[in-house]
Structure 1
């Protein structure tokens, strides 16, 4: 009871309207569950804004900066963990977003934040890395396929996605894997012993990411406690000579591809053709010419998203 009273006072101080006891109990349960929870809290826009400022993003100015996660079933949900904060590329260049590049550490092994958003894809072969000789013809009802990599070695087979939203997460028998459907990385048969940097990075993935096919594109929601780094032809400035790497902070989301406006085939100097329907996502570690990791194949744990060809 005391806790509910304290919560009511905090929300009121943040501009929230009066709440019924039942609504307050649901919000308390949702806050206890955190990012892993499924509890929806029906309510108003002022309550959502106050709750999100109080418990997630203190500097949030407008609800337009939020996007509801695909697993949320309540249209007027006020659970602050059921939303991601938009992380959109800015135009005109320089092509980085105010949220994506915030708080990049001056980084290990001499990594440089200024150039962290660029990559020359030096060792990436033409086309997609994830095919490994597998045919990409019979897509049936899949809208994408996932291939998980550790450094330059792919782990497991491609994972076909037919449902609208898919989770890619760590397992470890913990709460992060309970009740979730998708690609559990800890369930993959690695066959070979993991190197230390892979093992440490795998331990940080936790809730991982959610990939969702929505009416306005393919969205990535970062639900882990670490940033993820994304390279997608759909995010590049038109005049860019190299693909860009975007940092997506914990709790943020980004549209990584729009099937209605796919990027044209791209050829980079000294690299060759780049698959315009392939997106690469690295967990916790970025890459670029000034990093110790020059390209994505040097990242400990990363994912390639192969989007289905147009029908």
Structure 2
């Protein structure tokens, strides 16, 4: 590789020589999240060289440079941790002093060179990201989108999730999270004629309860804990300070929930990933605006800007509406960076990138934490929440098959997630329905919906008949 910056040390050249490139890129310009495709291969190589030089400078001071070279050259996980300070953002001012913010397809957003990070991310020349993600992307997985895709090996003593003062950036101390294979659901085949479907609970017109993202979680690992926030009031009015019931579908084995064969014709119905994992519709009050966005990438942002042709961004700023009022217009101006959605390892995460909170209604998430199905959760800026889990849904589906057609059909509501920007809704807000909020989106999870469709088709029809005279 030719030197981009003057006086490139030999060790930097060696480390850059091991940089991974995306499949089919034909060169070294695609290293970090495909930015080279947007900003030019030369600019991308320049950024990679700056990132490596900065790391080399730090590791020389601590005598860990040889260990990094050993790990990368041998591709061996049986190497020592290679650490840098976890709050090292102040050490990474590498740019030329510009203050223009930049975006890239990997969700690394730009800041002035000498700004300080409070969330554990480091920045290199206007671009900011978690250090272990940056170097895993550089030396192992160029298509890496998020820290949600990584899991540390058991022997790593300074793994990112341990939240120590030092964080390990040895790329061979992390593994890629694999999508779990969902077991097929055994469905009894009923040949009855399909009749009118039962009505679903109308979440969109009910007045939901509210909950806040639990306080006291340190960034950047702002995960929801395994128990609901203290003092949550359940549907029957009793305070729910304990963990969700032991009969939670998340704790049940799908195989244990499949129907028992008593002479029934059982058919296995398998899950398959669709080409577009979700579809997103945008609304202003009760009016649909613009076309549906079909998500093909595992990471995407819904923001308030105006890029018309990026498969990893649904930009609301370019959508027009002749009926838009002043409140909607003002709210749209505050969407900003909006929300980032990840679909990784069979799980969906929502991360608030905006300076204002987002509000999420996810029945799957609500069931996990023992909340009312219509509860709306407020996610503050910089926090993220797991809003759907395929394995939990699979367990629910296997259980519901035993309870009949109606129980399975009710699960369709679990595959819809509603999310509002800036303004919340529910019992604690002036706006009590999502259609009263100025700007909101509705996600349809295509994989679970298609799975439900196959199961319902196999089951035949509901047990309760619906005739023209009823």
Instruction: Give the number of equivalent residue pairs.
Output: 220
Give the structure, 1 or 2, with the largest relative contact order (CA under 8 Å, sep 6 or more).
1
1:142 corresponds to 2:265: no
- Structure 1 residue 292 displacement after superposition: 0.8
State whether residues 362 and 373 of structure 2, in contact with CA within 8 Å, keep that contact through their aligned partners in structure 1. Answer: no
Partner residue in 2 for 1:85: 220
State whether residues 228 and 371 of structure 2, in contact with CA within 8 Å, keep that contact through their aligned partners in structure 1. Answer: no
Report the Cα distance in structure 1 between the residues aligned to 2:330 and 2:90, rounded to whole angstroms.
45
Q: Which has the higher helix share?
A: 2
Q: Secondary structure at the match of 1:261?
A: helix
Going from structure 1 to structure 2, the CA distance change for 1:300 and 1:274 (only over 3 Å counts) comes to farther
* Correspondent of 1:25 among 94, 97, 105: 94
Deviates more, 1:178-187 or 1:162-171: 178-187
Q: Which has the larger radius of gyration?
A: 2
CA RMSD of aligned residues (A): 4.2
Partner residue in 1 for 2:388: 257
1:1-80 counterparts in 2 under 5 A? 16=88, 24-25=93-94, 32=99, 36=103, 54-57=116-119, 73-75=134-136
Going from structure 1 to structure 2, the CA distance change for 1:281 and 1:87 (only over 3 Å counts) comes to farther
Report the Cα distance in structure 1 between the residues aligned to 2:277 and 2:313, rounded to whole angstroms.
14
1:1-311 counterparts in 2 under 5 A? 16=88, 24-25=93-94, 32=99, 36=103, 54-57=116-119, 73-75=134-136, 85-94=220-229, 140-171=274-305, 181-190=312-321, 192-215=322-345, 217-237=347-367, 239-262=370-393, 264=396, 275-310=413-448, 311=451
- Structure 1 residue 279 displacement after superposition: 0.8
Post-superposition Cα deviations, 1:95-153, rounded to whole Å, max 9, x if no partner, equal: 799xxxxxxxxxxxxxxxxxxxxxxxxxxxxxxxxxxxxxxxxx951100001011111
State whether residues 281 and 443 of structure 2, in contact with CA within 8 Å, keep that contact through their aligned partners in structure 1. Answer: yes
Name structure 1 gaps, 5 residues minimum: 1-7, 41-50, 61-67, 98-138, 267-271
Going from structure 1 to structure 2, the CA distance change for 1:76 and 1:96 (only over 3 Å counts) comes to farther
Going from structure 1 to structure 2, the CA distance change for 1:35 and 1:296 (only over 3 Å counts) comes to farther
Going from structure 1 to structure 2, the CA distance change for 1:154 and 1:55 (only over 3 Å counts) comes to same
Report the Cα distance in structure 1 between the residues aligned to 2:373 and 2:230, rounded to whole angstroms.
12
- Structure 1 residue 216 displacement after superposition: 5.2
